């Protein structure tokens, strides 16, 4: 069926909106490092980005102590792509393009959030959604991540998808709300494992998990299941790294909140 607004028929544009947004957005992401011809190394890269990628591939706790200050003990696996690209000897433009393609996986998540918050099947709604996606990536902070080794956007990708999936049963009459909230919770747990400060944004998600229609018991079950998925995904994603920090330093989030774990260390007779 043809869709129209103001006499203008654009079924193809509306029907293929998501693919056009993802394609054009990916090309825009790629254009930044390819046009510059290099990938900048920030102070963080010199200090710990490469080192953490090295740690992700070869555990070094028995060899180094505070080699990049306390940054050495961050969750290292998001830094592995930069490290691997550097060790492979690729040029800066190629490395930047590879990272841009990883960052582009955020685009469909942002579009879904726009789709669920700006409904409509006409050119005006399509234009507003595209504008929303454009604005989401147009801040100076986000743009600065495309020509350096910063991985903050990479750490945000599972969180963006978590919000997108949480909004689906809120915005649509989808009878599979429990499934979507469970998946949202799992991605939220992964996001927290990638960057612990993402937890400050995850605490808002129960509002969206509770929102879709249903009896009180059904809504509570959704929140409990999604919360359990957060915990399970976090343990599965962060567990190995947290265990390494525990056996070496007596804290799974070392050096953060180290005094919180002192009673536990005392209880199990762990002394460092």
pTM of the model: 0.91
Distance linking the first and last C-alpha atoms of the chain: 70
pLDDT of residue 6: 43
pLDDT greater than 80 at residue 158: yes
Summarised one tens digit per residue, pLDDT across range 182-211 is: 999 999 999 999 999 999 999 999 999 999
Q: How many helices (H) and strands (E) does the chain have?
A: 15, 3
2, two tokens: 């043809």
List all residues 6 or more positions away from 103 whose beta carbon is below 8 Å from its beta carbon.
29, 145, 146, 153, 154, 157
In whole angstroms, give the CA distance from residue 25 to residue 143: 12
pLDDT band at 266 (very low <50, low <70, confident <90, very high): confident
pLDDT greater than 50 at residue 3: no
Beta strands in the chain (DSSP E): 4-5, 8-9, 67-70
Q: What is the mean pLDDT of residues 5-14?
A: 60
Q: What percent of the chain has pLDDT over 70?
A: 96
Lowest mean pLDDT, pick from 106-110, 143-147, 171-175, 212-216? 171-175
């Amino acid at each position: 069926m043809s869709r129209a607004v103001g006499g203008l028929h654009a079924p193809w544009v509306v029907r293929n909106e998501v693919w056009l947004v993802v394609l054009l957005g990916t090309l825009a992401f790629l254009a930044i490092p390819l046009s510059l011809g290099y990938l900048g190394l920030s102070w963080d890269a010199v200090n710990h980005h490469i080192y953490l990628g090295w740690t992700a591939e070869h555990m070094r706790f028995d060899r180094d102590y505070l080699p990049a200050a306390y940054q050495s003990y961050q969750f290292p696996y998001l830094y592995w792509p930069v490290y691997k690209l550097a060790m492979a000897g690729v040029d800066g433009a190629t490395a930047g393009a590879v990272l841009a393609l990883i960052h582009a996986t955020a685009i469909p998540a942002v579009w879904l959030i726009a789709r669920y918050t700006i409904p409509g099947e006409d050119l005006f709604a399509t234009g507003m959604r595209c504008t929303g996606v454009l604005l989401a990536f147009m801040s100076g902070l986000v743009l600065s991540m495309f020509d350096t080794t910063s991985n903050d956007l990479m750490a945000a990708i599972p969180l963006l998808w978590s919000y997108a999936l949480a909004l689906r049963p809120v915005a649509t009459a989808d009878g599979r709300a429990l499934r979507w909230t469970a998946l949202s919770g799992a991605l939220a747990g992964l996001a927290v494992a990638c960057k612990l400060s993402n937890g400050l944004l995850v605490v808002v998600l129960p509002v969206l998990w509770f929102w879709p229609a249903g009896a009180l018991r059904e809504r509570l079950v959704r929140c409990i299941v999604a919360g359990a998925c957060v915990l399970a995904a976090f343990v599965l994603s962060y567990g190995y790294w947290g265990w390494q920090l525990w056996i070496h330093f007596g804290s799974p989030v070392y050096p953060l909140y180290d005094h919180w774990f002192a009673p536990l260390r005392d209880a199990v007779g762990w002394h460092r």
